[in-house]
């Protein structure tokens, strides 16, 4: 079968003919329809996450496809693309507990955009206890996680303020936000205070870097900053009084340790929302496996503009 292969970290990916995977006990063979591309794949390819994983290896931490018994399934986690061969291939062996069944009414493309981004959005909202009446600032609003988070927050009755650095993405983002601000880190606080003078209850932050300090200042009393990524840089500093004097919380989130079975149930709940017409995804492009490197570059350089999918 054809598969993308990572031969060495920091080197271009290649497409090779390799042997079909064999499903071991407790695993299921999946005929891949789409592999999804996430920033995590870019970190892994550069060797900054899971560098201890065996090489050569097939990348791709999530995808969708069909099982031999005819089920349409999504899958993520369980070490796929990290420490074992992943989704960017014609076929992949997946631990059975990592399979999420896709219902009628949710197509393969939507499902492929909901694994890592969808579960991250759901878990971050839960950890920050976003509910009716919360004011939520969503950073990097055009991103895969943020697109889902804004919609889920609004279904909970929250007011959503979306931040983007990309003026050309305001139209896309404003579908799911009550207010949209276009601001880099240095103008973030001023721009948010124009629409929320007293600050916000919850901030979902995939950026960190220079965005973290204004975010802490923007938290209202008892507010929560959920940090789940570092797209704008891993280092940051903020005044501790800005946090503790407001009884505010900074919450970290990583989906990697979440049990595959729990993740799969979360994915099924998101598929059901798509099937019911209450959740939508933004698919930017479907690319052949040969263009995997180009996909990673677009993600790294913030040129994706929506979810990128790889089609075997």
Residue 145 in the binding site for ligand NAP (CB under 6 A): yes
Residue 229 in the binding site for ligand NAP (CB under 6 A): yes
Give the residue with the Cβ less far from ligand NAP, 142 or 281.
142
The answer to whether the beta carbons of residues 81 and 58 sit under 8 Å apart is: yes
Give the residue with the Cβ less far from ligand NAP, 29 or 283.
283
Q: How far is the CB of 101 from ligand NAP (least distance, A)?
A: 22
Residue 203 in the binding site for ligand NAP (CB under 6 A): no
Give the residue with the Cβ less far from ligand NAP, 28 or 137.
137
> Applying CB under 6 A, what is the total number of residues that bind ligand NAP?
30
| Residue from 6, 134, 151, 165 in contact with ligand NAP (CB under 6 A) | 165
Give the residue with the Cβ less far from ligand NAP, 93 or 283.
283
| Residue from 102, 141, 153, 284 in contact with ligand NAP (CB under 6 A) | 141
The answer to whether the beta carbons of residues 177 and 138 sit under 8 Å apart is: yes
| Residue from 39, 74, 86, 118 in contact with ligand NAP (CB under 6 A) | 39
Which residues between 206 and 225 bind ligand NAP (CB under 6 A)?
Answer: 206-207
Q: How far is the CB of 180 from ligand NAP (least distance, A)?
A: 10
Which residues between 97 and 116 bind ligand NAP (CB under 6 A)?
Answer: 116
**Residue 59, phi then psi, degrees to nearest 5:** -75, 180
| Residue from 6, 142, 151, 266 in contact with ligand NAP (CB under 6 A) | 142
Residue 78 in the binding site for ligand NAP (CB under 6 A): no
Binding site for ligand NAP (CB under 6 A): 38-40, 116-117, 120, 140-146, 164-166, 169, 206-207, 228-232, 253-255, 299, 302, 304
């Amino acid at each position: 079968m054809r598969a993308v292969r990572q031969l060495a970290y920091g080197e271009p990916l290649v497409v090779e003919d390799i042997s079909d995977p064999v499903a071991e006990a407790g695993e299921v063979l999946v005929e891949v329809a789409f592999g999804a591309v996430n920033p995590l794949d870019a970190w892994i390819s550069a060797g900054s996450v899971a560098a201890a994983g065996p090489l050569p290896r097939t990348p791709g931490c999530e995808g969708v496809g069909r099982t031999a018994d005819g089920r349409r399934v999504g899958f993520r986690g369980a070490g796929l693309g990290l420490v074992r061969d992943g989704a960017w291939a014609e076929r992949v062996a997946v631990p059975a507990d990592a399979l999420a069944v896709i219902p009628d009414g949710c197509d393969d493309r939507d499902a492929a955009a909901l694994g890592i981004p969808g579960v991250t959005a759901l878990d971050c909202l839960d950890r920050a206890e976003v509910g009716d009446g919360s004011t939520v600032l969503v950073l990097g609003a055009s991103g895969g996680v943020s697109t889902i988070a804004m919609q889920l927050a609004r279904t909970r009755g929250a007011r959503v303020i979306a931040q983007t650095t990309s003026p050309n993405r305001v139209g896309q983002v404003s579908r799911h936000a009550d207010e949209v601000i276009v601001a880099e880190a240095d103008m973030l606080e001023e721009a948010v205070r124009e629409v929320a003078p007293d600050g916000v209850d919850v901030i979902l932050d995939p950026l960190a870097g220079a965005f973290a300090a204004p975010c802490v200042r923007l938290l209202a009393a008892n507010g929560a900053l959920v940090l789940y990524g570092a797209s704008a840089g891993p280092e940051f500093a903020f005044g501790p009084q800005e946090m503790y004097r407001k009884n505010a919380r900074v919450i970290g989130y990583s989906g990697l340790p979440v049990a595959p079975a729990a993740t799969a149930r979360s994915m099924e709940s998101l598929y059901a929302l798509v099937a019911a017409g209450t959740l939508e995804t933004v698919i930017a492009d479907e690319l052949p496996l040969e263009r995997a490197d180009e996909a990673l570059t677009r993600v790294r350089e913030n040129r994706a503009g929506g979810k990128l999918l790889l089609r075997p």
